[in-house]
Amino acid sequence: MNHTRRTVNRLAAVSVVVGLLTAGCTTGQGSRGTDDDRYPYWEKGAGASDAVEFMNLELPQSATQVKGAVRVQPQERVYLLSFLTSEETAESIADDLRSEHPLKADPDTDSLSGDGFEHLGLTSPQDIKGVRTTGVCPPCVGDERRSNVQGMEIHVGQDSGDRVRVYLAAY
């Protein structure tokens, strides 16, 4: 009898703890969950330097019209960076990502940046004719410099003259 009472008391205690934990994880009336209208939003004050730091990149000295932003989503932040540079510099940045695939034109490519570059006043890379792109999972290719980055992509599109616009997105 004593053994049965202890078992019942333990089950009751476990039920209370599970109930409290479950109540803390659910949304009640008037409470905000992760699917509410707070997401996504743009992190105030975050810009190009935040993106450069997160992506562990060295911004080329020749870069002009540098723009960046951080979009906060329920599960992660997406860091956006864009600038103008030479074709040669853009190619070396793409090579530095250590992607298993070279830059190539892919008109049906979706981007993890979504319409984020429009937030920066830029044409979305998916809307640029002839844009070349590649992506990489830094931990998957053993890039210990970017072990905190789950995924990166680069888009390179012709701008004017000998300049190209580089679009980088990472999360």
- Once rounded to an integer, what is the mean pLDDT over residues 28-37? 49
82 Cα distance to chain centroid: 14
Confidence at 36, pLDDT banded by 50, 70, 90: low
149 located within any domain = yes
Task: Decide: 103 and 89 in contact? Cβ < 8 Å.
Answer: no
DSSP H or E segment with residue 95: helix 87-96
- Once rounded to an integer, what is the mean pLDDT over residues 86-109? 91
The encoded tokens of residue 20 equal 């409290």
Reading phi first (left if > 0) and then psi (alpha if -120 to 50, else beta), residue 73 is in beta
Dihedral, CA of residue 128, residue 99, residue 151 and residue 110, to nearest 10: 30
5 located within any domain = no
Q: 100-137: per-residue pLDDT in tens?
A: 999 999 766 677 777 799 999 999 998 888 899 999 99
110 located within any domain = yes
10 located within any domain = no
Task: Decide: 77 and 46 in contact? Cβ < 8 Å.
Answer: no
Total of domains in the chain? 1
- Once rounded to an integer, what is the mean pLDDT over residues 29-55? 81
pTM: 0.77
156 located within any domain = yes
59 located within any domain = yes
Residue 76 lies in domain: 41-170
- Tell whether the torsion through CA atoms of 100, 103, 108 and 110 is positive or negative: positive
pLDDT of residue 24: 35
CA neighbours within 13 Å on the CB side: how many for 59? 18
Between strands 132-136 and 163-170, the pairing is unpaired
62 located within any domain = yes
127 located within any domain = yes
User: Which letter does DSSP use for residue 144 in this model?
Assistant: G
Three-state SS for 167?
strand
